[in-house]
Structure 1
Amino acid sequence: MDTLQNLRARLLPALRRVKPAVRRNLTRLHPLAPDRQAALYVHWPYCEKRCSYCNFNKYISQNIDQPKMRDCLIQEARTLIQLSQVQRITSVFFGGGTPSMASPLTIGDILDTISQCAHLAEGTEITLEANPTSADASRLAEFKRAGVNRLSIGVQSLNDADLKLLGRNHKALEALRTLEEAKRLFPGHTSIDLIFGLPGQTVTSWVQSLQKLLPLCDDHVSLYQLTLERGTSLFTQVHQGYLAMPDMDAVAEMYDCARHILQDTGFHQYEISNFARNGAFSAHNLSYWQGSQYIGLGPGAHGRFVPWGDAKIQQEARIQTLEPDVWMKEVLAFGHGTRKRTALSELDRLEEVLMLGLRMDVGISHQHWLRFSPTFSLWDVFGESEEVKELKEQDLLFLDNRGLRCSWKGLAVLDTLLLTLLSQLQQAWAERENRSKGT
């Protein structure tokens, strides 16, 4: 779930300036809507090697017990789908880690189990993240036969020096070969990931790389600004002075140039980091941004769903045990490896709806907001705010009969806008609570 991880990385430094109660709530990044359908995320925790920038929950292992991992993912799928009592799975996303390292038979067996436990309609979006080194032509064809109908390829860069810097174990030529084969097998349903803001990268080199790639890509592109994560080798190299990051003005210009180049090439920016043409939006990621509930399977996976067997809980965030061997022991013992459960308040949910919904170009409609808070409208929260009025006057934000959304200019600075909007939400909520108590 790269988009959510990147959002967390960008916001956390700024959130240190927000009062603790707000900061605590903002770090919960996965939304939920209480209904009988859900998206489903499957985490494959293994990689061939750890990239220099990555701090995701992944493990390097030469002796992966594929049958045991498959059996545990199947068991956890059965348990959590039954616990949620969802009747329909709206999308499936195999992420990681490197799920293209999994056996296609494993992927097929997991999908068969899901379809036995809930309705998985024909044509439902089923995405698999793939790295070029673990996704040759024959393997991609096997994944397609197993039920995968959309690929997300970690291209990251077409510059071999940049790929080496990032710790990737593929070269640009391998990425292009994988992309070409993926387009043949999954036409219109192949996405690529690209990273910008790399050490030593210039606006010119970034633009040249993007212009070279776009004529070769399919109908979906995801752009991510490099974030230095503590504990990674890239973080260490930069902070010890061995590598120099581009300044923030240059990084902002890279993003702005990319947006215009993609727009000129026929792509529509439907979310901060995601661009699509010919209607090739990611249904799975849209479910996150729209606040739909989802089930997370596998080590370290996050989920948001209503546990229907517990009448005391209406909304719940779940995190699965991180370490694969420990997670498998828990699944074998209890049917699932959930390590942490957190009941969410109405305010928690509204913060998530605001933070994730504004990532989309369409923003948050009044009807959508009222699904989560029927008696506390967008007008109630933001209608009289002087800060919001100022953002509107600066052409960064719209609040009108359609709802609340960012302008084209506002999307580029959403992290800054959110600090104001979330503070306003907290203030309006506190005033509402005080009125209800008569104070």
Structure 2
Amino acid sequence: MMLPGVRARGWVAAAKAALRRHRADGEGEHRRPAARGQRAALYVHWPYCEKRCSYCNFNKYIPRGVEEAAVRSCLVTEAQTLLRISGVRRVESVFFGGGTPSLASPRTVGAVLEAVAQVAHLPADTEVTLEANPTSSPGSRLAEFGTAGVNRLSIGLQSLDDAELRLLGRTHSACDALRTLAEARRLFPGRVSVDLMLGLPAQRVGPWLGQLQELLRHCDDHVSLYQLTLERGTALFAQVQQGALPAPDPELAAEMYHKGRVTLQEAGFRQYEVSNFARNGALSTHNWQYWQCAQYLGVGPGAHGRFLPQGARGHSREARIQTLEPDNWMKEVKLFGHGTRKRVPLGELELLEEVLAMGLRTDVGLTHQHWQQFEAQLSLWDVFGTSKEVQELQEQGFLLLDHRGLRCSWDGLAVLDSLLLTLLPRLQEAWQLKCSSPVPGR
């Protein structure tokens, strides 16, 4: 992995050693491209934070001290074990999320990448993303992450208003955020993403839009807009329930989202997914794997994965969840090589529902070719072509079904959840009809 003037030596050395082993095992074998079932994205979860934000209900822990060497060893072990269980030969992208993975040492990131390169093909240009908080990401540390193999940053900026940042329980100021953003852009030009939240209690459209316009004067080529969701069990939820804060206004949030989309479009950004905007081709490769329902492996406490285990009977993809609590997860990894707590086989219809719901989040939607990779018998035309409800949605300008496939319009992306209330039952009906139809020859 390359950065201007910097080389991730450990990862590259491991990749070259693995390539030499492949050549020794069988000349030319490494040249054969991995089949779709042998490719996957990799998510690595770092569960620790300095402080729990008021809106967050993720699997996070505020430790007194972290034995990082022990955590690192378990991340390495679990990554290699899951790669072997899945039979994955090529890793398409790596994402270090959390928690606050920028609190981990660059050595840990490098060790995981080296371990992956020893078991699977990890191309030198693979997208490797690290989530970073401004207060844990000085420029020197970001440079060290680059040396370890990171080539893309996702910065949890959230707001450029200090009062809102305090409300959210963030540990940084707007000034901290902009300083970190500038340093990140210097080190990772064209590969820095920032998050901005909308729909906070008492938030108004005009000031929020001013934040977005200010951000556009400083940001790189990727922006994510996320609406606040009040999660039960969080401090912010309790404050709203007790009347200490007003409940977020959904109408104002919808107006912010609409005006934010327009503002980003005018600034040259493509809305390639419901919440994500990119220009100059700076899409998130890793997240695109999720929306395309590609396989992904989840490593670390509480991480989620979706993959087909090697040699699995029935050829059913599994939804996997790793053990949540870090200490228990580490005990299981040391005993079994991985800390998978829950395995749920996905039925064919369940997988198709995911393909539909995830694919329609993107501006490309579902092409006929992509759909046929998951369902060869029922085409998109078979499922949706004769539906009066779907036809009405097309006439209203929310959906398009044509020679390319099925996708949302610009207006449809903004109301996808309501469209799925029509589309998912139609898929279920078509599936039931297919399953109940007699098969010739039986």
TM-score with structure 2 length normalisation? 0.90
Which of 40, 56, 61 in structure 2 is aligned with 1:38? 40
Counterpart of 1:240 in structure 2: which amino acid? Answer: Q
Query: 1:35 is paired with a residue of what secondary structure?
Result: helix
Letter paired with 1:322? L
Q: Is the 8 A contact 2:201 2:249 kept in 1?
A: no
Q: CA RMSD in A?
A: 1.2
* Aligned counterparts of 2:136 and 2:185: Cα–Cα separation in 1: 16
State the partner residue of 1:375: 377
Moved over 2 A (4+): 309-314
Q: How does 1:79-228 map to 2 (within 5 A)?
A: 79-228=81-230
Superposed CA deviations along residues 25-77 of structure 1, whole A, max 9, x for unmatched, are xxxxxxxx951111000000000010000000110102111000000000001
Q: Which amino acid aligns with 2:196?
A: L
- Distance in 2 between residues matched to 1:236 and 1:314, nearest whole Å: 41
8 Å Cα contact 1:155-1:193 kept in structure 2 = yes
User: Does residue 230 of the first structure (1) align with residue 232 of the second (2)?
Assistant: yes
Distance 1:242 1:142 in 2: 43
**CA displacement, residues 76-123 of structure 1 (integer Å, 9 cap, x when unaligned):** 011000111111100000000000000110111111001111011111
Which ranges in structure 1 are unaligned for 5 or more consecutive residues? 1-32
Hey, what does 1:76 align to over in structure 2? 78
SS in 2 for 1:42: strand
Letter in 1 for 2:238: T
1:281 is aligned, of 263, 280, 283, to: 283
Paired position in structure 2 for 1:337: 339
- Structure 2 unpaired stretches of 5+: 1-34
Q: Which residue in 1 is equivalent to 2:53?
A: 51
Aligned to 1:16: none
CA distance in 2, matches of 1:337, 1:246: 38
Q: Is the 1:34–1:305 Cα contact (8 Å) retained in structure 2?
A: no
Distance 2:286 2:337 in 1: 25
Paired residue secondary structure (2:377): coil
* Structure-2 separation of matches of 1:420 and 1:433: 21
Aligned to 2:23: none
- Residues in 1 aligned to 2:247 and 2:119: alpha-carbon distance in whole angstroms: 48
Contact 1:47 1:59 (8 Å CA) reproduced: yes
Greater mean deviation of Cα atoms: 417-426 or 143-152: 417-426
Q: Contact 1:194 / 1:223 at 8 angstroms: preserved in 2?
A: yes
Q: Residues 93 and 126 of structure 2 are in contact (CA less than 8 Å); yes or no, is this contact kept in structure 1?
A: yes
**Percent identity at matched positions?**
65
| Structure 2 residue matching 1:59: 3-state secondary structure | coil
Q: Partners in 1 of 2:309 and 2:298 — Cα distance?
A: 13
After TM superposition, give the deviation of residue 177 of structure 1 in Å: 0.6
Deviates more, 1:37-46 or 1:302-311: 302-311
- Aligned equivalents of 2:413, 2:174: Cα separation in 1: 30
Q: Deviations over 1:360-405 (max 9, x none)?
A: 0010001100100000111111111111011001000001111000
Choose from 390, 393, 405 the match for 1:391. 393
CA distance in 2, matches of 1:137, 1:62: 25
Deviations 1:197-246 (A, max 9, x none): 01111011111111111110000001100000000000010111111134
- Would you say the 8 A contact 2:113–2:149 is kept in 1? yes
2:56–2:231: 8 Å Cα contact kept in structure 1?
yes
Does the residue aligned with 2:438 lie in a helix, a strand or coil?
Answer: helix
Q: Aligned partners of 1:423, 1:299: CA distance in 2, in Å?
A: 35
Letter paired with 2:388: E
User: Aligned ranges for residues 242-257 of structure 1 at < 5 Å?
Assistant: 242-257=244-259
For the residue of structure 1 that corresponds to 2:37, the secondary structure is: coil
Residue 363 (str. 1) matches residue 369 (str. 2):
no
Which whole-Å deviations, capped at 9, do the CAs of 1:110-150 have from their partners, x for residues lacking one? 11001111011111100000001110111101100000000
Distance apart, 1:312 and its partner CA = 3.9
CA–CA distance in structure 2, aligned partners of residues 358 and 83 of structure 1 = 30
State which of 404, 419, 430 in structure 2 corresponds to 1:428: 430
Letter in 2 for 1:259: R
Task: Give 1:389's aligned amino acid.
Answer: Q
Aligned 8 A contact 2:106 2:145 in 1 = yes
**Contact 1:202–1:246, Cα closer than 8 Å, also in 2:** no
SS for the counterpart of 1:245 is coil
Kept in 1: contact 2:142–2:184 (CA 8 A):
yes
Question: Cα deviations across residues 223-272 of structure 1 (Å, max 9, x unaligned)?
Answer: 10000000000001011111113422111110000000000111110000
User: Could you tell me which of 47, 62, 65 is aligned with 1:63?
Assistant: 65
1:272 paired residue among 268, 271, 274: 274
8 Å contact kept, 1:34–1:306: no
Determine the C-alpha separation between the residues in 1 that align with 2:318 and 2:436.
26
Distance 1:34 1:227 in 2: 35
Q: Distance in 1 between matches of 2:428 and 2:36?
A: 23
Query: In structure 1, what is the Cα distance between the partners aligned to 2:168 and 2:346?
Result: 37
Quick check: 1:43–1:96 contact (8 Å CA) kept in 2? yes
Give the SS at the match of 2:78.
helix
Residue 437 of structure 1: how far off its partner (Å): 7.6
Greater RCO, CA 8 A, separation 6+: 1
